[in-house]
Amino acid sequence: MTKLLNIGMVGYGFMARAHSNAWSSVSHFFETGYKPVLKAAAARNASKLRHFADMWGYESVESDWRALIARKDIDAIDICVPNDLHAEIAIAAARAGKMVLTEKPLARTAAEGLPMVEAVEKAGVPNMVWYNYRRVPAVMLIRNLVASGKLGRIFHYRAKFLQDWTISPDVPQGGQGTWRLDVDAAGSGVTGDLLAHCIDTAMWLNGSIDSVSAMTETFIKERRHAETGKAQPVGIDDAAAVMARFQNGSLGTFESTRYARGHKAAYTLEINGEKGSLSWDLHDLNRVQFFDHSVEGQLRGWTNILVTDGDHPYMGHWWVPGLIIGYEHSFTHQVADFLDGLKTGKPAAPSFRDALETNRVCDAIIASGKSGQWVSI
């Protein structure tokens, strides 16, 4: 019998829309035994919240997330607000016995994230962090191929996440939409915002990272604060270039910036092993490039795999082979796995504890960028 799962959404921005789409569509495509219900949404701006709730079909609204958590008819709290609010909301939700899902990064720092891990574990509530790129079918295929030993011993992992939207010094820091430039709200710049995705995928594909050496830069040193109008120093990293040593002996390089003119969301990754290589590009997210060294010499070359067949990860739930899917489906897959985890009792990853490890690596990157030294995780 299908159980109803009442969702309490915090926020109405970019991620609240992506998640609402996933919660509402999942049960049309995946039989998990659960049907999410968009029960209530909470945020401070009443008219924007009402508009969001009407657009997505939320049954009710709350002007304060505390009221949402206090409601008996809410099963799961979904946190889609700036990073500085994740900890307080998640801990309160766990203490109230709610399932908790939070957007990434888990927290601004690992020190802030640890009590969140302790709170969900003490309460024994299901928990998950939305590192959604794991659930792109092509990325899941890479994970399956690497785990099956297809690449043999791994030598290199490299990833980039490039954007260009903060080049103008007129972009403010703080406030709606530009909270990512305010270190108090975001915790860090591209490291926590973009590299965190690359690091999460990297450790999931290739194991733990032991140490990092990073070069970070803040190109624009002062920006107007959107709320006060006053110019103030910029505390975030605008760009980061990172060398990393993985526990399995392989070497990693990571780059992230919001100053790569022409790039909007250029997330690419590549992994090289003794038997082959695999690579992926978010802008062509249904494809995997595979080089298989075991193929006879004269036929050997990069194979372009369109990941849309029924036996590819998740794809049997969608249309017919050859028809592509998009960014939003990664969130639907993450919801499907979360609900499956409730049914089977095997929780979907990444849990809060898993995601804490990514925060630790991000902290080490920021520390290394400041000190110029290698930092152990």
Question: In this structure, are residues 254 and 233 in contact, taking their beta carbons and an 8 Å threshold?
Answer: no
Among 2, 3, 4, 14, which residue interacts with ligand NAD (rule: CB under 6 A)? 14
| CA-wise closest residue to 293 among 279, 280, 276 | 276
Dist. CA 75–CA 92, nearest whole Å: 14
Nearer to ligand NAD, 11 or 276 (CB): 11
Query: Residue from 6, 13, 171, 245 that binds ligand NAD (CB under 6 A)?
Result: 13
Residue in 32, 132, 286, 332 binding ligand NAD, rule: CB under 6 A: 132
3-state secondary structure of 68: helix
Of residues 334-373, those binding ligand NAD (CB under 6 A)? none
Find how far residue 222's CA is from the centre of its chain: 28
C-alpha dihedral sign at 93, 347, 284, 324: negative
What whole-number distance in Å separates Cα of residue 303 and Cα of residue 288?
8
- The window from 37-45, 157-165, 207-215, 365-373 that contacts ligand NAD (CB under 6 A) reads 37-45
Q: How far is the CB of 208 from ligand NAD (least distance, A)?
A: 22
Binding mask 218-257 for ligand NAD (x = CB under 6 A): ----------------------------------------
Q: Say whether residue 273 binds ligand NAD (CB under 6 A).
A: no
44 lies in the site for ligand NAD, by CB under 6 A: yes
Element (H, E) at 140: helix 137-147
Q: What part of residues 158-187 is at the interface with ligand NAD (CB under 6 A)?
A: 177
Measured from the CB of residue 114, what is the shortest distance to ligand NAD in angstroms? 18
Residue among 77 and 364 whose Cβ is closer to ligand NAD = 77
Residue of closest CB approach to ligand NAD: 13
78/255 with CB nearer ligand NAD: 78
User: How far apart are alpha carbons 54 and 334 in whole angstroms?
Assistant: 24
Q: Minimum distance from CB of 12 to ligand NAD (Å)?
A: 4
Q: Please report how close the Cβ of residue 25 comes to ligand NAD at its closest, in angstroms.
A: 17
CA–CA dist 291, 137 (Å, integer) = 18
Which residue among 15, 117, 202, 307 contacts ligand NAD (CB under 6 A)?
15
* One residue of 62, 75, 78, 103 binding ligand NAD per CB under 6 A: 103
The distance of Cα 262 from the centroid of its chain, to the nearest Å, equals 23
The two structure tokens encoding residue 128:
């998950």
Q: Could you say whether residue 8 binds ligand NAD (CB under 6 A)?
A: no
Nearer to ligand NAD, 169 or 177 (CB): 177
| Contact range with ligand NAD by CB under 6 A, out of 13-21, 240-248, 277-285, 316-324 | 13-21
Reported residue count of the chain is 377
| Identity of residue 40 | A
**Phi, psi (5° rounding) for residue 37?**
-120, 125
Beta bridge partners of 34: 3
Find the shortest distance in angstroms from Cβ 175 to ligand NAD: 9
Report the residue number, 11 or 313, with the smaller CB distance to ligand NAD: 11
- Is residue 82 within the footprint of ligand NAD (CB under 6 A)? yes
> In degrees to the nearest 10, what's the CA dihedral of 16, 41, 130, 342?
-140
- Interface with ligand NAD by CB under 6 A: which range of 74-82, 336-344, 345-353, 363-371? 74-82
Rg (CA), the chain: 21
CB of 257 to ligand NAD, least distance (A): 17
Q: What is the largest CA-CA distance in the chain?
A: 66
**Omega prior to 105 cis, within 30 of 0:** yes
x/- map, 51-70, ligand NAD, by CB under 6 A = --------------x-----
Tokens 């249904």: give the residue. Answer: 286
5 φ, ψ (degrees, to nearest 5): -125, 110
- List the one residue out of 275, 200, 212 whose CA is nearest residue 243: 212
CB 88 within 8 A of CB 10: no
Residues of the shown chain interacting with ligand NAD in the complex, contacts defined by CB under 6 A:
10-16, 42-45, 65, 80-83, 85, 103-104, 130, 132, 177, 193
